[in-house]
């Protein structure tokens, strides 16, 4: 047994034990990481076979697909007796935003200002306000006060897309602010501490690193996953991204000057990138051998997706 396989076996075992209760969210990871690079569509039968190595049975797949379609994440097209699924147009912006955060590390510079969003204005319903709160947190914004959200340097394009999707473009107020007097009021460090729970996030990143560090050590020692079973590499790559994605949805991705020294998020990203690049070729073999859409079997992914986690 290869060293890489020996190290990966307990990780594979723990993965199979944890996935069933989180199947709908895992499906979204699979759509973003695996299905979108192949045109965004998959036959339901292929999806069932794709998820089988993860310990997810056909009933769970069908139930999860139904829930995601009911909640507006997936839409289906029938061709004869076959059903083909893809992300809905309303779901795509959220998935594409997550893709940018996962695979393309932002290089954020800070000019001392904060972007502020006010959602307590007239014309926004309580349902819209709750959805804004949830999705703005996904975009990295912290809560400064009730219905006031802030971030030092988050890009605003996803915010404009969110406003358009929720129909509040003319209601929410957006402003930029900076400290007037460095000797008065809360310091920047205190603002960051109040808006973002970095301590808990740091703990979660270190847990991620402990879970996958032995695989990273094996690669550094010369282990080669190219001889491993493609299905096993697919499992490892999918769950690696799934676990990392869950952390990034909580990570405000602050500029370096506002982060703690030796920030664990940086180490987690490097580890994730190293493992992803190593596992991707074998995982791709499993995907192309398993999946098809209305045009037939999946082909190799395009250049855009091969640049994921680029150095």
138 has which bridge partners? Answer: none
What is the CATH number assigned to the segment(s) 197-289?
1.20.58
- Please tell me the distance from the alpha carbon of residue 247 to that of residue 265, in angstroms, as a whole number: 9
Q: How many helices (H) and strands (E) does the chain have?
A: 12, 9
Please, which pLDDT band fits residue 105 given cuts at 50, 70 and 90?
A: confident
**What is the pLDDT at residue 97?**
81
Looking at residues 162-177, what average pLDDT do you find? 92
The pLDDT value given to residue 182? 73
- Number of Cβ within 10 Å of residue 70's Cβ equals 9
Over residues 49-82, the pLDDT tens digits come to 999 998 889 999 999 999 999 999 999 999 999 9
User: Class of the 113-178 domain?
Assistant: alpha beta
Q: What's the pLDDT score for residue 144?
A: 92
With H, G, I as helix, E, B as strand and everything else as coil, classify residue 142: strand
Query: In which band, very low, low, confident or very high, does the pLDDT at 21 lie, cut at 50, 70 and 90?
Result: low
Place of tokens 């909580």: 250
Element (H, E) at 122: none
| Range scoring the smallest mean pLDDT among 51-65, 169-183, 200-214 | 169-183
Please give the Cα distance from 67 to 51 (Å, whole number): 17
pLDDT 10s digits, 112-132: 899 999 998 888 999 999 999
Residue 199 pLDDT exceeds 70: yes
CA atoms within 13 A on the CB side of 178: 6
CATH 3.30.70 placement within the chain: 113-178
Query: Where does the pLDDT of residue 301 fall: very low under 50, low under 70, confident under 90, or very high at 90 and above?
Result: confident
Q: Where in the chain are all domains bearing CATH 1.20.58?
A: 197-289
The pLDDT tens digits of the residues spanning 231-290 come to: 999 999 999 999 999 998 889 999 888 998 899 999 999 999 999 999 999 999 999 999
Q: How confident is the model at residue 1 (pLDDT cuts 50, 70, 90)?
A: low
Task: Record the pTM.
Answer: 0.86
């Amino acid at each position: 047994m290869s060293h890489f396989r020996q190290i990966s076996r307990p990780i594979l075992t723990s993965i199979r034990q944890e996935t069933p209760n989180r199947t709908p969210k895992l499906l979204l990871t699979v759509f973003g990481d695996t299905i979108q690079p192949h045109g965004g569509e998959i036959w339901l039968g292929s999806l069932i076979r794709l998820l089988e190595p993860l310990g997810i049975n056909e009933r769970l797949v069908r139930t999860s697909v139904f829930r995601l379609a009911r909640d507006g994440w997936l839409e289906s097209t029938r061709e004869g007796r076959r059903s083909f699924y893809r992300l809905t147009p309303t779901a795509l912006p959220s998935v594409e935003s997550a893709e940018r955060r996962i695979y393309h590390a932002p290089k954020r510079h800070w000019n001392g200002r904060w972007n502020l969003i006010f959602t307590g204005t007239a014309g926004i319903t309580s349902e819209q306000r709750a959805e804004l709160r949830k999705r703005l947190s996904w975009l990295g914004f912290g809560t400064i006060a009730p219905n006031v959200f802030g971030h030092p340097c988050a890009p605003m394009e996803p915010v404009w897309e969110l406003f358009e999707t929720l129909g509040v473009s003319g209601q929410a107020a957006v402003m930029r602010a900076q400290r007037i007097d460095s000797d008065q009021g809360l310091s920047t460090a205190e603002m960051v501490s109040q808006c973002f729970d970095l301590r808990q996030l740091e703990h979660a990143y270190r847990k991620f690193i402990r879970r996958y560090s032995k695989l990273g050590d094996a690669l550094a020692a010369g282990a080669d996953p190219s001889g491993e079973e493609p299905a096993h590499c697919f499992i490892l790559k999918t769950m690696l991204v799934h676990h990392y994605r869950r952390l990034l949805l909580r990570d405000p991705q602050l500029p370096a000057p506002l982060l703690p020294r030796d920030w664990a998020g940086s180490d987690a990203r490097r580890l994730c990138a190293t493992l992803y690049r190593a596992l991707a070729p074998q995982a791709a073999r499993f995907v192309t051998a398993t999946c098809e859409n209305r045009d037939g079997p999946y082909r190799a992914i395009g250049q855009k997706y091969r640049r994921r986690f680029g150095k």
